[in-house]
Chains A and B, each alone.
Chain A
Amino acid sequence: MLKIEDAKKTFLSGTPNERAALRKLNLTLNQGDFVTVVGSNGAGKSTLFNAVCGNFLLDEGRILLDGQDITFMPEHKRSRVIGRVFQDPMRGTAPHMTIEENLALSYSRSKKSPLRFAIRKSETQMFREYLSRFRMGLEDRMDAKVGLLSGGQRQVVTLLMCTMVSPKLLLLDEHTAALDPATAARVMEITKEIVEKDKLTTMMITHNLSAALETGNRTIMMDDGEIILDVSGEEREKMTLNGLLDMYSQKRRKQMDNDRMLLV
């Protein structure tokens, strides 16, 4: 489904602040995979997402989505098939527009004609049904400005905007990190519901290691622009929180040993 080949990206290359964000990264996602991505700050998780979404172009390597080479496709064209939810609830919605208008805007991306009326009765009814599934009372507030909603409600609206027209790939960038624990749990539940219902191919960045192991069917760990761990299936089921942490320090140590060997 998604295939990343030898992706390489270096920021500020040629300056003293040069930083390799992705080092020859390879990753293949199968149809319907729900991958959780863990790793410390600066490991390159968000860079990986940005590369897939087209915020910048890769220095080297290719990205294939559903067999199509999207390495040089502009950002707005990729977003037709890639949905993305950010950590910041303010980013995914237009605050001065109503819930209905926000949903209508993202829904009509599947339609071609720019001069069709944006708000239609039949579609409004459909939006209402979608919203009512989340049991947050949003279906009765379709005329409310999104800016008046709480962070959790905004994230749910964003999630719905990204998934109403099923994307080929859904990217969740710590989308519950800015929410209180109870709301975060509820948003995570809704996320699982949506992903399972439409069998969406999904990648989710999280700093919650136990959530990373409980959610989805595969977990990858990133460090310094590389994937240092990729577990799925039985191996993953047996993996415990401590196991994951051990694995992390083990890999790190091995790397350091190698460095030391070089220096000695």
Chain B
Amino acid sequence: MVLILGSLQLGLLYGLLAMGIYISFRILNVPDLTAEGSFTLGLAVSASLTVAGHPVLGLAAAVLAGALAGCVTGLLQTKCKIHPVLAGILTMSGLYSVNLCIMGSSSNLSLISNATIFKLMYGWLPGVDKDICKLLIAALAAAIVAAVLILFFRTHIGLCIRATGDNEDMVRASSIDVHSVKILALAVSNSAIALCGALIAQYQGFADINSGVGILVVGLASVIIGKLFVRSDKVGRGLVISIVGSVIYRYIIALATSSSLFPAYALKLVSAVIVGVALSAPAWKEQMEIRRIRRGGKAHAEN
């Protein structure tokens, strides 16, 4: 029961990460590696402000910090014409120092004795089970962010972001500044990711400088798993499906680790394998199809 509820909580919280990845990888069609840095950035900002006694402010600040990180990558990509992958790596790498600085040059911050928004919730809803409280916050966060993003992508600027990922030439011809659109999209994506980090820090009660390692693969896995269940080009559905994918991913991981099939440290390898297999599935399918057609042709010739 604890595992079922815990995975659901984590899945919903990491749903924000999945939505952020969905925006950069699927909608904008740009591989953005800033995620690893901006996730930890959110974590660090939220943790240090929580220690200072402002858990809610910590979340808001994390959103802004994430947006800023996205802007930096966006500027490197567009105005400085650096390859998107390298631009993300540069920001991510630089953020490592920034994050350490925010956490007071310690690689670990504990929030055990501080009030987090989860603990505030226990206070507001006395008598309600703690796990239900946590679930409530996770569900609320996922729902609010999803709603805001869905509305955002229905606006003119949202449509511009989608079109930029589809055909940049056409966007430029429609008198829209492609550079600003890209920077904005990366800012939105990374602020969702940073908010995810911020919530996770308060959820688990500590912040670690290495929490972001491999987080990109986690987000990608969620997006891909979601896509396996529902295929849709509609952005709204895509965002919601990413959250669902994130929850399913958590259950897969919980199953894999609780069945002691894998040791806990194999988690990242398992995630990488899931993503690798899912991404190569279409290519395999095509190969099988070609082989099937060939075999059919041969049988036909022999008859």
A residues near B (Cβ < 8 Å) are 74-80, 83-84, 90-97, 101-102, 104-106, 108-109, 111, 113-119, 145, 161-162
Contacts and interface: CB of A to CB of B under 8 A. Distances in A.
B178 interface: yes
Nearest to B152: A115
B22 to A, nearest CB: 15
Nearest to A75: B172
Interface string B128-172: 000000000000000000000000001111111011001101111
A118 B154 contact: yes
21 contacts: A76-B176, A77-B175, A79-B173, A79-B175, A80-B175, A90-B167, A92-B169, A92-B173, A94-B162, A94-B166, A94-B167, A94-B171, A101-B163, A104-B156, A105-B160, A105-B163, A106-B174, A108-B156, A109-B176, A114-B155, A116-B156
B200 to A, nearest CB: 30
B167 A93 contact: yes
B177 interface: yes
B198 to A, nearest CB: 25
Given A76-B172, A111-B156, 10 more contacts: A74-B177, A93-B170, A94-B163, A94-B166, A94-B167, A95-B166, A96-B166, A109-B174, A114-B156, A161-B174
Contacts of B173: 79, 83-84, 92, 106, 162
B174 to A, nearest CB: 5
Contacts of A105: 156, 159-160, 163, 170-171, 174, 176
A222 B73 CA distance: 44
B156 A118 contact: yes
Nearest 3 Cβ contacts at the A-B interface? A94-B166, A80-B175, A114-B157
Nearest to A53: B173
Contacts of A94: 162-163, 166-167, 170-171
Interface of B: 154-160, 162-163, 166-167, 169-178, 233
Contacts of A117: 154-156
A160 to B, nearest CB: 13
Nearest to A98: B233
A145 to B, nearest CB: 7
A115 B163 CA distance: 16
A109 B175 contact: yes
B155 A118 contact: yes
Nearest to A158: B170
Contacts of B167: 90-91, 93-95
Contact of A116 (B155, B162, B163, B178): B155
Contacts of A92: 169-170, 173
A116 B158 CA distance: 10
A61 B146 CA distance: 52
A114 B162 CA distance: 14
Given A91-B167, A97-B163, A118 B177 contact: no
A115 B156 contact: yes
A105 B154 CA distance: 11
A84 B170 CA distance: 10
A31 to B, nearest CB: 21
A93 B158 CA distance: 17
A78 B173 CA distance: 9
Nearest to A104: B159
Contacts of B156: 104-105, 108, 111, 113-118
A102 B166 CA distance: 11
A118 B170 contact: no
A173 B155 CA distance: 32
Contacts of B174: 79, 105-106, 109, 161
